Amino acid sequence: MDSGMEAPACKIACADGTSPTETKDVYNPDHRGCEGRMFGRTNTGNSLGLGKCCDAHDACYHSCASGFQKCEEDFTTCLRESCESTFEPGSQKDTECRKAAAAMTMGTRMSGCRHYQYAQSTVCDCSQHGGPAKPERAERRRRTKSAKARRRSRKGKAKRDEL
């Protein structure tokens, strides 16, 4: 079920570059399972018994310094094992489960970083380390570079349109 995609570098650090510490606030999961929309379709993960994996994934995101990559690996493993233990191998439901799990894995690897960083900012404390927990510089730099590239691309297109 490996999506073949490498999760982006997605870290959070304090202003002085050190790792944040856990806040005293406790994450209270809402246990929505795999609720939500993905790729314009309602997520079918709950109907396939994958809700516990989504709940564990949310809890991982809300555990300070848990590590984005570890959360993604644990999520992928949970999804795979749930499909294997719930459905007869090769059955229509097994195929449906594996496809849903692959789409969910790809979705969180592609767009989960900002959700991870937001969750980390709510449960991590940097008050002793120079300020609030923020995305690590490399991640901010990557986002800034891609925004600059988009602006340059639009400017280039506008110039070509003028000709």
pLDDT tens digit sequence for 22-80: 876 666 766 677 776 444 445 556 778 898 999 999 999 999 889 999 999 999 999 99
Residue 121 in any domain: the answer is yes
Residue 123 in any domain: the answer is yes
**Average pLDDT of 135-145?**
53
- Look up residue 71 and give its amino acid: C
Cα separation values, 120 from 21, 112, 147, Å:
10, 12, 24
Residue 34 in any domain: the answer is yes
Residue 73 in any domain: the answer is yes
For 85-99, the DSSP string reads: HHS-TTSHHHHHHHH
**Average pLDDT of 3-13?**
62
The pLDDT score that the predictor gives to residue 148 is 67
Residue 157 in any domain: the answer is no
Residue 68 in any domain: the answer is yes
Number of structural domains found in the chain: 1
Share of the chain above pLDDT 70, in %: 63
The pLDDT score that the predictor gives to residue 28 is 72
Average pLDDT, the chain: 78
What tens digit of pLDDT does each residue of 125-134 get?
888 776 666 6
pLDDT at 157 over 80: no
Residue 128 in any domain: the answer is yes
Total-model pTM: 0.69
Cα separation values, 23 from 58, 61, 120, 159, Å:
17, 14, 10, 51
Q: How far apart are CA 85 and CA 87, in angstroms?
A: 6
